Amino acid sequence: MSLRLLPYSFPKKTDGMEIQSDRDYFFGDIASQGQTSQLQSLILSGASVNVVAVDSITPLHEACLRGQTQCKEDCVKLLIAMGANLEAYDIYYGTPLHVACANEHTDCVKVLLNAGAKVNAARLHETPLHHATKNKQVEMVEILVEFGANVHARDHHDKKPVDYTTPGSPSATCLQFYETTPMNLQQLSRLALRAMLETRALEVIEKLDIPKLIIGYLCYQKHLLTLSSLAAKLENQRKISGLRGGDECDSWKPSTPSPQANLLLARLVFDFFSGCNWEQGLEKETVGEKRASSVCQSESDSSHCSVLHELQYDQAALTGERREDGGEVALNHVE
């Protein structure tokens, strides 16, 4: 049992968070153990998903604290679906997102962010990105940044996330890249949509009255799959080099498309909203292929054509096409 959720005798309400009966006091303990069926039974019997202990810990905090196995992730999803407060603060970490990042639970981080958790929530000016960086979690850093984490945020020690990295390490390389590279149109579009829809973004986005192509452009799903493959890649490198779980690998590459590819993606979306006959163009010849053909005819530089080939690859990623080798093209591919 979680010692921080032992029952105590006085009822209380604070900021919409409820402290109720003895049954509720053990709610967080069940959540921390990932007992999804028992958790669901408690909810159906009337237990509050937002019950808090004396130190302001909620069942969602507990689920994110213990978590990473599939059952813990399911508990997090269940609690959120039943109205758990994504922005509740405890006195130890902060929000549930802080808890998940501090305890290296990447799957819980994905669930919370997709549900609309505030990526730049701060406790003592410390953000989830600070926690992910301290734990050398490169995949988690990438996910947080893609969801709008501020790489320039300073904590109460006046330190940015990169200040907690070892110079030359993958975490340092990753953060330095994001500090010096502007967001592309895709990232800006996603963040603008999340800012407008807040916690409803995941539910609403696929119901928007816009083409599926644009919906796919705005979704994070394929990107998160790409990041998972990156995590597997890093784990394999750890095994090969004999590194411990907390150590870092010796290299990192950005999983975002090249600047030229980002430019093409921006032009494709702009063309669509400018009234171009997109559907007809895709049936006959992709826009990327047309541009590549016209430019390659006028340019004799083979290196330039190779760049255009990369643009075609990224354009294919946007349209969901398949590579010649039969593999599906990811939205943001990893080299």
pLDDT tens-digit readout, 223-249:
443 344 444 544 554 454 454 444 555
CB 245 within 8 A of CB 238: yes
Nearest residue to 136 (alpha-carbon basis) of 162, 110, 114: 162
Domain 119-181 falls in which CATH fold? Answer: 1.25.40
Checking if the pLDDT of 297 tops 60, the result is: no
Checking if the pLDDT of 140 tops 50, the result is: yes
CB 201 within 8 A of CB 229: no
Checking if the pLDDT of 34 tops 60, the result is: no
20-105: in CATH 1.25.40.20:
yes
Checking if the pLDDT of 188 tops 80, the result is: yes
Full-prediction pTM beyond 0.75? no
Q: Give CATH 1.25.40.20 domain extents, the chain.
A: 20-105, 119-181
**Residue of 257 and 42 predicted with greater confidence:** 42
pLDDT at 335: 35
Q: Which residue's entry shows tokens 């643009």?
A: 311
Checking if the pLDDT of 127 tops 80, the result is: yes
Q: Which residues pair with 51 in a beta bridge?
A: 18
Measured torsion, CA atoms of residues 266, 268, 270, 276, in degrees rounded to the nearest 10: 170
